[in-house]
């Protein structure tokens, strides 16, 4: 029987993770989910927790570039990973300000949010989806539905969110 390393069966762990390009560290109970660690331990409250069991998509963040539900990942599981939250979508400009991501611009332009609770999950999911696809191709309605289908919004009825997806896709195509 091989021995089990006691340091890997703790009830509390120190997690080192790069969040929005910045190395961060937090000591968390092993049962803490990533969404709570981002909000409570790292102070990044842009990630919203809606249903806390994977249905609503509000807490979606990128782990090593892929959208995942941060309520369905334990904080200890992202040790060594790169996480991007909604706070990491905007880029610094040359004057020390920030430039919104095309998806954020499109949400503002198309009035794609009302109460805003679900918005961070939509923004992160759509931004990753649009960056992963062939930008020169016209976006199809099927693609748009797939990009918004995993996130719940109780205010807007999705029409303006879908309009924003098409708007952002067009902006990203023209910016090539």
Partner 1 sequence: MKPAPFRYADPRSLEEALDVLAADPGAKVLAGGQSLLPLLAMRLAAPATLVDVNRVPGLDAVEVTGDGVRVGALVRHAQLLRHDAAARVQPLLARATANVAHPAIRNRGTTVGSIAHADPSGEMTSVLALTGGSVTVTTAAGRETVGWQDLFVGPLETSLSGGAVVVDAFFPALPERSGTAFAEIARRKGDYAVCGAGVVVTLDADRRVSAVRASYISVGLVPEVHDLTEAVAGKPVDSADWAAAGALARTLVDPDSDIHASADYRRLLVGVLTERTLADAAREAAERTAA
Say whether residue 27 binds partner 1 (CB under 8 A): no
Q: Among 14, 16, 25, 31, which residue interacts with partner 1 (rule: CB under 8 A)?
A: 31
Which range touches partner 1 (CB under 8 A), out of 26-34, 100-108, 154-162, 165-173? 26-34
Q: Which two tokens stand for residue 132?
A: 């992963």
Nearest to 32 by CA among 21, 20, 17, 55: 17
Say whether residue 5 binds partner 1 (CB under 8 A): yes
Say whether residue 9 binds partner 1 (CB under 8 A): yes
Say whether residue 26 binds partner 1 (CB under 8 A): no
Say whether residue 1 binds partner 1 (CB under 8 A): yes
Query: Strand 98-99 to strand 12-19: parallel, antiparallel, or no bridges (unpaired)?
Result: unpaired
Q: Helices then strands (H, E): number in the chain?
A: 5, 7
CB 161 within 8 A of CB 155: no
CB 50 within 8 A of CB 56: yes
Say whether residue 2 binds partner 1 (CB under 8 A): yes
Q: How far is the CB of 32 from partner 1 (least distance, A)?
A: 8
Torsion sign across C-alpha atoms 53, 55, 56, 61: positive
Q: Compare residues 71 and 112 and give the one whose CB is closer to partner 1.
A: 71
| Alpha carbons within 13 A on the beta-carbon side of 56 | 17
Say whether residue 54 binds partner 1 (CB under 8 A): yes
Residues that bind partner 1 in the complex, under the rule CB under 8 A: 1-5, 8-11, 13, 29-31, 33, 36, 52-54, 57, 60, 63, 66-69, 71-74, 76-77, 125, 129, 145-146, 149-150
């Amino acid at each position: 029987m091989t021995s089990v390393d006691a340091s890997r069966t703790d009830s509390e762990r120190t997690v080192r993770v790069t969040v929005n390009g910045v190395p961060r560290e937090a000591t968390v109970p092993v049962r803490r989910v990533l969404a709570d660690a981002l909000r409570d331990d790292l102070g990044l409250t842009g990630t919203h927790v809606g249903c806390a069991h994977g249905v609503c998509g509000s807490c979606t963040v990128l782990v090593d570039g892929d959208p995942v539900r941060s309520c369905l990942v334990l904080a200890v599981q992202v040790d060594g990973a790169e996480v991007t939250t909604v706070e990491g979508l905007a880029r610094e400009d040359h004057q020390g300000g920030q430039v919104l991501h095309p998806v954020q611009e499109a949400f503002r332009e198309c009035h794609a949010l009302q109460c805003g609770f679900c918005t961070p999950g939509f923004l992160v999911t759509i931004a990753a989806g649009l960056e992963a696809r062939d930008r020169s191709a016209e976006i199809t309605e099927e693609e748009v539905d797939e990009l918004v289908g995993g996130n719940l919004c109780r205010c807007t009825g999705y029409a303006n969110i879908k309009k924003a997806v098409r708007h952002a896709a067009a902006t990203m195509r023209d910016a090539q």
